[in-house]
């Protein structure tokens, strides 16, 4: 019996890796430009961390966590998201003592026991950022500007920024009660999940995909009408700064988030091209979270992007394969040994070169060069080698020239540096 991988957990294969690396490199580049530093935290944490931060009554904690006991009987969980572990580390390592403002980013696998489908997996990857210690709305706008900058730079434009405010500890309770009262009158129209949620987590009812629940909540009260003066002012300023930065957005008062720690600004980058898994990135403020987890009373805001969804959105024509600059085709043992040494020399100089290891016909070797999309093929034939010559074929122009073995490495490096840089995914 062949052992297969786990449902919803995917291999990322060599054919796709250029896109993944491109998306990661752009994140490193752009986030660092905005003053963020990478942080790496474990993939496993104490279960309690997620229960306390994400919320006991959320789908993630109720149904989706990979939780297990270790050999000492501790309850551990594979991280379903990155914010809680980063906050745990921030508090434990007292990062706030080093700098009152921390701007952190992370990337890596997350785990949720969801029903797998296109764009939704059980092991998936997030690239996320968290800015801690600033409550000024400038940072909200800056984070959103950075998110838009990222999407522009990776060439994904089929997205829309939706923003909302979820209020704070002062104003949300009254709104929550108003929503509970509203839902109470319509219980019969709601799905069984929402009937339960209408008491435990009423805001989630607004997010239910069941058409009957959507119909029943068309006239539901809106959080935006219940914001206290402080939250209202904060949200207005965020919108003003976004306008000042020339960032388009849509206010979506029905947007609630699936995690309980949010307050004030929340947002999602949504797309029409991924079916029901339409959020490519999502996040918001979580001003009470650090204190709730036993840390100092510092505010925070951040987002995470789903990398698999980003990859799905990069259309096939954008995924330019990395072209190989040079392929060495050798005829006969002696030529093959010479090609092997040449390949090593050029690789040491930083050039990507491939050759055929075993002896194959020239036709087979040219086929392989074609598979690599080789820009040039250097043919080392016995007859030419006897004359201290090799043949360089320009695969794009369809032309070829003879080059002398003397000074060959320098000549090749010169020539390949003159030709256009190879396109990378993007
Ligand atoms: P989230 O909305 O749960 O937020 O996830 C963020 C993004 O991760 C989603 O928009 C989606 O692109 C991706 N994602 C989530 N679940 C899956 C899945 N099962 N398969 C594939 N992709 C998925 C958070 O996780 C928050 N920690 C974001 C945040 C950071 N808020 C503040 N700071």
The per-residue DSSP string of 290-349 comes to: HHHTTS-S--EEEEEEEHHHHHHHS-GGG-PPPPPSEEEEE-SHHHHHHHHHHHHHHHHT
On the 0-12 / 13-18 / 19+ scale of CB atoms within 10 A, 137 is buried
pLDDT score at 84: 98
**Which of 275, 280, 283, 308 has most ligand 1 atoms within 8 Å of CB, for mutation?**
283
* d(C-alpha 292, C-alpha 297), whole Å: 8
**112 labeled binding residue:** yes
Lay out the sheet containing 399-404: strands in order across: 353-355, 326-330, 376-380, 389-394, 399-404
Q: Out of 273-287, 289-303, 383-397, 410-424, pick the least confident.
A: 410-424
- Torsion sign over Cα 269, 274, 278, 282: negative
Joined tokens for residue 103: 């701007």
pLDDT score at 358: 87
Lay out the sheet containing 66-69: strands in order across: 44-46, 75-78, 66-69
Q: Are strands 326-330 and 376-380 parallel, antiparallel or unpaired?
A: parallel
pLDDT score at 321: 58
Which pTM does this prediction carry? Answer: 0.89
Joined tokens for residue 160: 């829309």
**399 labeled binding residue:** no
Strand segments, DSSP code E, in 166-289 are: 250-251, 263-270, 279-285
Mean pLDDT of 284-304: 97
**48 labeled binding residue:** no
**Which of 130, 282, 309 has most ligand 1 atoms within 8 Å of CB, for mutation?**
282
Residue 424 pLDDT greater than 70, yes or no: no
- For the stretch 104-151, pLDDT in tens is 999 999 999 999 999 999 999 999 999 999 999 999 999 999 999 999
* d(C-alpha 191, C-alpha 124), whole Å: 29
Q: Tokens 């002696």 belong to which residue?
A: 334
Q: Are strands 75-78 and 66-69 parallel, antiparallel or unpaired?
A: antiparallel
Enumerate domains of the chain plus CATH numbers: 14-171+227-317 (3.30.930.10), 320-419 (3.40.50.800)
Q: What is the mean pLDDT of the chain?
A: 94
Joined tokens for residue 324: 């190989």
Cα dist. 211→215, 255, 286 in Å?
Answer: 6, 16, 30
Using DSSP's 3-state secondary structure scheme, residue 401 falls into strand
- For the stretch 51-93, pLDDT in tens is 999 999 999 999 999 999 999 999 999 999 999 999 999 999 9
pLDDT score at 317: 46
* d(C-alpha 278, C-alpha 426), whole Å: 21
* Local confidence band at 425 (pLDDT 50, 70, 90 cut-offs): very low
- For the stretch 188-233, pLDDT in tens is 999 999 999 999 899 999 989 899 999 999 999 999 999 999 999 9
* d(C-alpha 358, C-alpha 333), whole Å: 9
Q: Is 82 in the pocket of ligand 1 (CB under 6 A)?
A: yes
Ligand 1, atom 31, residue with closest C-alpha: 283
Ligand 1, atom 16, residue with closest C-alpha: 120
Q: 422: closest CA among 389, 398, 395?
A: 395
* d(C-alpha 231, C-alpha 171), whole Å: 8
* d(C-alpha 86, C-alpha 101), whole Å: 14
């Amino acid at each position: 019996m062949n052992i297969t991988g786990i449902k919803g957990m995917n291999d990322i294969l060599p054919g796709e890796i250029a896109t993944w690396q491109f998306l990661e490199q752009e994140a490193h580049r752009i986030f660092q430009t905005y003053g963020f530093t990478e942080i790496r935290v474990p993939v496993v944490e104490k279960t309690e961390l997620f229960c306390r931060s994400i919320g006991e009554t959320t789908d993630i904690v109720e149904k989706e966590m990979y939780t297990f006991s270790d050999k000492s009987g501790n309850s551990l969980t594979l991280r379903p998201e990155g914010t809680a572990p980063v906050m745990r580390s921030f508090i434990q390592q007292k990062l706030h003592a080093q700098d009152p403002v921390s701007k952190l980013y992370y990337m890596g696998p997350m785990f949720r026991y969801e029903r797998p489908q296109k764009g939704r997996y059980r092991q998936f990857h997030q690239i996320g950022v968290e800015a801690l210690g600033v409550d000024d709305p400038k940072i909200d706008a800056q984070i959103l500007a950075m998110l838009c900058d990222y999407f522009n730079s990776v060439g994904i434009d089929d997205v829309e920024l939706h923003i909302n405010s979820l209020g704070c500890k002062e104003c949300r309770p009254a709104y929550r009660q108003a929503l509970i009262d509203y839902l109470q009158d319509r219980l019969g129209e709601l799905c069984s999940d929402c009937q339960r949620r209408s008491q435990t987590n009423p805001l989630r009812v607004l997010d239910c995909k069941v058409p009957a629940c959507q119909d029943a909540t068309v006239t539901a009260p809106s959080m935006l009408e219940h914001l206290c003066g402080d939250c209202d002012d904060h949200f207005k300023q965020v919108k003003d700064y976004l306008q000042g930065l020339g960032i388009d957005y849509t206010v979506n008062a029905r947007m609630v988030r699936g995690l309980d720690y949010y307050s004030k600004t929340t947002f999602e980058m949504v797309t029409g091209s991924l079916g029901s898994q339409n959020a490519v990135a999502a996040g918001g403020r979580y001003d009470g979270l650090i204190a709730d987890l036993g840390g100092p009373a510092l505010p925070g805001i951040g987002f995470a992007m789903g990398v698999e969804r980003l990859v799905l959105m990069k259309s096939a024509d954008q995924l330019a394969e990395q072209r190989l600059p040079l392929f060495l085709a050798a005829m006969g043992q002696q030529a093959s040994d010479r090609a092997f040494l040449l390949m090593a020399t050029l690789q040491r100089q930083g050039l990507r070169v491939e050759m055929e290891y075993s002896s194959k016909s020239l036709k087979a070797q040219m086929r392989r060069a074609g598979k690599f999309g080789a820009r040039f093929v250097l043919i080392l034939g016995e007859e030419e080698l006897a004359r201290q010559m090799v043949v360089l074929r320009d695969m794009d122009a369809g032309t070829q020239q003879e080059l002398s073995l003397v000074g060959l490495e320098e000549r090749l490096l010169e020539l390949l540096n003159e030709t256009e840089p190879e396109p990378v995914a993007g």
